[in-house]
A and B are shown apart, each in its own frame.
Chain A
């Protein structure tokens, strides 16, 4: 997917005007939000688990380089081959080389955000490899050449008619609007691909340093098939996936599935350590693990920014975000959407070009409340704003004149002195009063955005401090102490 985060503003308007997409985004988010809160109740102490997993993520990110080294050593000892890719191009090249060197023409894939990040499918297809996404939703959007709508449900924006039309063309089935029948048709169609593919390509949900294992989380069984039948398994992971041990992995996965689909645990969790061993009758002969940086170590150097790497891609933040729930995923202009995207896209694509993603935030904090990684989204967005205002050469962030900076300077200057404050208050209130009609102000020559959808309540006839000075100072004397006792009208 070609990044177009610059077009966010324009796409917001398009999404808001698309009534169907808007309702859908709200409905989908509502369902996931409900499922998550219900699932969390299965913990004796949900808040404690949230803290524990946030702690696991924080520790894992802090010790990342050491954990990655250990992971490489253990995975290699178990027979896997580990590769390091510094960018998307390198990762794609490594994977394509492995596949083409073996003359493999057919690949089955498990849903993987990081492979979307590198646009791996496109790369493989150019090299003459046919790639089938195995996850039903991902398969559908792949066949329609559309970007995924939602991180968990890539195709939930599509109607049964649209999917039926696709399947009729692709598989020659009878038209049907029954989601179950459509799912069965895809099962039958993809069976053969799983049985005959030369390679299974997956992402990695969690990598375990202690054992050199990779953990894969899914519901459909496509990843299990892709990692059991084809003779080669290639797993692509970004550097932040590694945790210390199996205990950390299982605890994080437990919260991942609850946060994501509201399941206590997904139907399948596979913990894979090396290729198949002697005497085993299935499983791949080769396991290749490609570890991708793609700009992450650059911002890792900054102790505050590196918290972005705590994200476990559960999507809980999407379901609760007042912005996401109105506009849906594709509006964000790249593969990561919602608050997750507003945190990741600027760091991975560039802060300047992705500004609107983090500017479009009401600072309600719902995302950080539900985040299993313990990411403080609002601190991150604030930091990004500062980087744009002042520039940040370490990450090539250009200083940009920001609308409002001049006003803010004036505002802060005014607020530093009670005298200037009072003068400003008098002028400002006189200005507002000029535009007051009845109990409200309908429009002003400034603040146009405000008045597009609402009025402003008329200012009170006096300021609080005027009222206090005239009425209250007579009654109560300021007494820096707490002990003074005054009775009032009782």
Chain B
């Protein structure tokens, strides 16, 4: 259970949790979520989200919060090229970011009320892998799940320095600009998958 709303004047504490809300809201914004029991199972979650899709290449922002070895194995099983952002020159990276089929990134926070994943972009977390590929898979730990945007505000307030960009992603890119027809997938990802990892990213 998350803490109740604070009384007037009392500072609000960062409220966490609400996996059910996150799952419900994710459906509304057309993000596919798979819940896995721990870091070891992330690669399995990714495989499950990709299912039978034809994936030629996956661009992975390697990070200690994901198991790269297992992911490489998954890529192999899918017959997809595994590309780590860290093994590319800047130019190669920029080209790959526009050419690959899947971008896989970790996240800093999640927000349950809107099924958002939040990325603080910095040297270890580039911007494009979550926006330019047709499929984005985000790795989010349940310990990173905040209840509301107000909690995200509190988290941001604790930053000593603002990251050059904070991106709040809520589902797939979309438009209704032609005939008001809701269309999933516009310039950003056509599909968004979230691997929700039970436990803490620091464990």
Chain A residues with CB under 8 Å of chain B are 27-28, 31, 42, 78, 134-137, 140, 153-156, 158-160, 163, 179-180, 182-184, 187, 190-191, 194-195, 211-213, 219-222, 224-225, 227-229, 245-247, 250-251, 254, 261, 263-283
Contacts and interface: CB of A to CB of B under 8 A. Distances in A.
B202 interface: no
Nearest to A141: B177
B94 A265 contact: no
A281 B178 contact: no
B168 A268 contact: yes
A443 to B, nearest CB: 42
B73 interface: no
B123 interface: yes
A42 B122 CA distance: 33
Nearest to A135: B177
Chain B: interface size category:
35 or more
Interface string B169-190: 1111111111111010111110
Interface of B: 25, 28-29, 85, 90, 93-94, 97-98, 113-114, 116, 121-123, 126-128, 131-132, 149-150, 152-153, 156-157, 162-181, 183, 185-189
Contacts of A224: 127, 131, 167, 187-188
B177 A78 contact: no
Contact of A219 (B114, B149, B174): B174
B39 to A, nearest CB: 25
Contacts of A160: 178-179
Given A229-B128, A269-B168, A277-B123, A183 B178 contact: yes
Contacts of B167: 224, 268-271
B190 to A, nearest CB: 9
Contact of B172 (A225, A247, A267): A267
A222 B173 CA distance: 9
A319 to B, nearest CB: 12
A354 B157 CA distance: 44
Contact of A246 (B153, B164, B165): B153
A157 B107 CA distance: 39
A191 B173 CA distance: 14
B181 A277 contact: no
A281 B90 contact: yes
Contacts of A140: 177-178
A183 B175 contact: yes
B164 to A, nearest CB: 5
Given A266-B170, A273-B164, A219 B186 contact: yes
24 contacts: A134-B187, A140-B178, A179-B178, A183-B178, A183-B183, A190-B187, A191-B187, A220-B174, A221-B188, A225-B187, A225-B188, A228-B127, A247-B157, A264-B113, A265-B149, A265-B168, A267-B172, A267-B173, A269-B168, A270-B167, A271-B165, A272-B165, A274-B164, A281-B126
B94 A282 contact: yes
Contacts of A227: 127, 165
A153 B177 contact: yes
